[in-house]
Amino acid sequence: MDKELQVVPQQLSQQAQPTPVSLTQTGNENTQIAYVERYEQNVAIFSSAPQAGIPVIGQGVTFNYDCFNFFVLGGEEYEGAFFLVPKDRALTESTSQEMQDLCASLSPEAVAIIKTFPAIFCSENRHYSKTDPDHMAYYGYVNDIKVQDNGIKVYFTKLNTLPQQVLIDLSYELGIAGARSYTELSRTHWAIKRINLIEVLEKAGYRVFKL
């Protein structure tokens, strides 16, 4: 039986392709996912009432599931619209030279590529190689990236929550394993993995919302 992961509140849950309808939304931080013929590939994602200064991923983005962004940030709770990654921990470790060459410059072209990869957002493990049952990680995507003097500003959207222990248990399959008592979940950094995150999770019995 599939282990359905919790959908982040105010986001679209996993359902069959809906019939097109006219929607009216009020308030801030609402997200709509428009009807498309190919449900898991090209989609139009837009905000009905975007907040000033918060970028939203544009229409017609084709998501690439061959790679995924992997964020681990101290005690970050991912409650806002963005977070900061230290520059010396952004695509400088635990990332293949191939992916560094492709993305680490954070040029407009590199950012466009990064935004096509799904993402996992985590905080550091509470007990090195393990964590507590209530310690949650998030699955979603990157909206935009801005390079600042004080770090790399990453705008993001969460789609699902999952127990971080799931990632620890799948650390070898996800390419985040380290020493016996130390994994990549024990250190603040941002890496990109050439691994199909969705495939690994679904093989283990966990399903997430796919764009």
Instruction: Name the least confident of 28-37, 142-151, 181-190.
Output: 28-37
Alpha-carbon separation of residue 6 from 30, 138, 183, 187, 207 (angstroms): 18, 10, 25, 25, 10
What number is the average pLDDT over the span 96-110? 97
pLDDT digits (tens, 9 = 90+) for 123-145: 998 887 778 888 999 999 999 99
Q: How confident is the model at residue 80 (pLDDT cuts 50, 70, 90)?
A: very high
Band of residue 7 on the pLDDT scale cut at 50, 70, 90: low
| CB neighbourhood size of 209 (10 A) | 19
Residue 92 scores a pLDDT above 70: yes
Evaluated on CA atoms 133, 134, 140, 144, the torsion sign reads negative
Q: Kindly tell me if the per-residue pLDDT of 39 is higher than 90.
A: no
The pLDDT, as a whole number, for residue 108 is 97
- How many CA atoms does the CB half-sphere of 175 hold within 13 Å? 18
pLDDT beyond 50 at 87: yes
Q: Does residue 186 register a pLDDT over 60?
A: yes
Residue 80: which residues within 8 A CB-CB, separation 6 or more?
Answer: none
DSSP summary character for residue 43: E
For residue 75, what pLDDT band results from cuts at 50, 70 and 90?
A: confident
What pLDDT score does 58 carry?
47
Q: Are strands 206-207 and 3-4 parallel, antiparallel or unpaired?
A: parallel
Q: Mean pLDDT throughout 76-86?
A: 95
Give Cα 161 distance to the centre of its chain.
11
Structure tokens at 65: 């599931």
Work out the burial of residue 97: count CB atoms within 10 Å of its CB; fewer than 13 is exposed, 13-18 middle, 19 or more buried. Answer: exposed
What does pLDDT average to over the chain? Answer: 78
160-182 exposure pattern, b = at least 16 Cβ within 10 A, e = fewer = bbbbbbbbbebeebbbbbeeeee
Number of H helices, E strands in the chain: 4, 12
pLDDT of amino acid 173: 95
Q: What percentage of the chain has pLDDT greater than the value 70?
A: 69
